[in-house]
Structure 1
Amino acid sequence: MTSPSKRRVPLWLSIPVVLLILVAAGWLFGASGQVTGVEFSPDLFEHRSFRYYQWCGIRVTTKQTHVWRSEFDDYLHDSGYVDTSGIDEPRWQLVKGFAPHVRGWSGPANSLCLSIGCFNGRDERWITWSNDHPELAKVAWPALVQLSREGKYEAVWELLFRLEEPPLPDVEQLQKFIDDARLRDEG
């Protein structure tokens, strides 16, 4: 007969206890919790919010998404500047994200969204600008869509900056600026 001090805990009881301790420690001390963010599809000109939970940096739930468009996205679609035909597998690029123990991070599409003003309803200014300058919009917005699809977000930022800077270019000057910006971004 063994003494009470030498009794072993049954294996079937010790495994769940150890797992519970590991999960709790990971949740408290690891990069665990909700991860959220926004992605942008240059192919569809749509945004997608996402959310999932992670434990110690490992995703433990499915990624929940919600697709949405800004007012300017809708304007580009409604005006015929965005053609999505033939796009079976759209690309999604990170705009910004937040996770436990991370201050936040941004991706390649962040500069595009900041320039356009996709958040907080600041993109309405480009719709107003388009209504005020329809001939320039016919040149600027197809170029913006194409540059975005090519991942040339710095050229997009330059284009939008130029459109806000007086004096406004004429159509030929704008086309030359777009061509030059595309070449600068390639170099």
Structure 2
Amino acid sequence: MSKAKSAVNRSPFWVILISTCVLALVLFGIIRTTGYVEGEEFSPTHFRSRKFTFYEIPLIHLQITPIRRTTTTPLTALMLTQKNWIKQPDLEPSTWHLVSLQRGNEDPVDDDAALLMKQLRLHRDGAPFWKTWSTDHPEMAQPFWQTIGTLSQRELYLVMPRLFEIVGPLDDPDTLKTMISDYLQTEYTSLIRDMRAAGRDELADALAKEAASDVDSPN
């Protein structure tokens, strides 16, 4: 066989090889820039938070690398569990609520749990605000954080911002308990009404039971 014929016969192989390499590089670049996923999640039972990252195939959201996790638990949350104001189960966390998620170059999107994480990370005058407040008001901190813990497990993060606003200026434990109870009773009533109007009677019944057991005694 002549050299010319050999070169012709080999050329499809090199074309395929080069095309494959180019395609692989293009796919790698796309995945590297738009397939990176980063987020944070929060355990309502243990008051821990963690960051997670992985790569996926864009558009179809097919995960292609293992998930890497790193702890992000704020100092305020650590103090709450150390003081046993948030009672942690003996088992490792099995429930995690999404805090935020970012895919590729898209803007990060916050979920409801971000409302609590914002407060746990709140700093004023260079110090964690709610850690300082809790240390200065231990007799109020315990019932308050136990209420927050209960609401977290119910995924009722949407009622928390106003609750933090109400509690912050208070100095009297009895006033705190009364105001928490009154506020949450109003919120539960509104939520139950909305759920029934939407035809979600099962969820409305569950909220009614929670209201009866949790709102009146934020101990």
TM class, shorter-chain normalised? 0.7 to 0.9
Counterpart of 2:187 in structure 1 is: 181
| Alignment-mate amino acid for residue 45 of structure 2 | D
Separation of aligned partners in 2, 1:121 and 1:29: 43
Q: 1:81 is paired with a residue of what secondary structure?
A: coil
Matched, 1:52 2:54: yes
Separation of aligned partners in 1, 2:96 and 2:124: 21
Separation of aligned partners in 1, 2:176 and 2:81: 24
Separation of aligned partners in 1, 2:86 and 2:125: 20
Query: Within 5 A, what are the aligned runs for 1:157-176?
Result: 157-164=161-168, 169-176=175-182
TM-score between both structures, scaled by the size of structure 1: 0.77
User: Is the contact between residue 35 and residue 53 of structure 1 (CA under 8 Å) also seen in structure 2?
Assistant: yes
Counterpart of 1:112 in structure 2 is: 116
Counterpart of 2:206 in structure 1 is: none
Q: 2:107 is paired with a residue of what secondary structure?
A: strand
Counterpart of 1:21 in structure 2 is: 22
Separation of aligned partners in 2, 1:84 and 1:42: 9
Cα distance, 1:153 vs. partner? 0.3
Cα distance, 1:110 vs. partner? 1.3
User: Is the contact between residue 81 and residue 88 of structure 2 (CA under 8 Å) also seen in structure 1?
Assistant: no
Matched, 1:136 2:140: yes
Separation of aligned partners in 2, 1:121 and 1:184: 37
Q: Which has the higher helix share?
A: 2
Q: 1:85 is paired with a residue of what secondary structure?
A: coil
Cα distance, 1:7 vs. partner? 3.5
Percent sequence identity is 20
Which sections of structure 2, spanning at least 5 residues, go unmatched? 195-219
Which sections of structure 1, spanning at least 5 residues, go unmatched? none
Cα distance, 1:145 vs. partner? 0.4
Separation of aligned partners in 1, 2:155 and 2:16: 50
User: Is the contact between residue 139 and residue 175 of structure 1 (CA under 8 Å) also seen in structure 2?
Assistant: no
Cα distance, 1:122 vs. partner? 7.5
User: Is the contact between residue 52 and residue 62 of structure 1 (CA under 8 Å) also seen in structure 2?
Assistant: yes
Q: 1:44 is paired with a residue of what secondary structure?
A: coil
Counterpart of 1:151 in structure 2 is: 155
Cα distance, 1:149 vs. partner? 0.8
TM-score between both structures, scaled by the size of structure 2: 0.68
| Alignment-mate amino acid for residue 54 of structure 1 | E
Per-residue CA deviation, residues 91-127 of structure 1 (Å, 9 max, x unaligned), is 2222123332312222231122123326899772112
Per-residue CA deviation, residues 44-77 of structure 1 (Å, 9 max, x unaligned), is 2101111223343533221111124211111210
Could you tell me which of 12, 37, 40 is aligned with 2:39?
37
Counterpart of 2:209 in structure 1 is: none
User: In angstroms, what is the RMSD of aligned CA positions?
Assistant: 3.3
Residues 172 and 53 of structure 1: CA distance in aligned 2, closer, same or farther (over 3 Å): same
| Alignment-mate amino acid for residue 23 of structure 2 | L
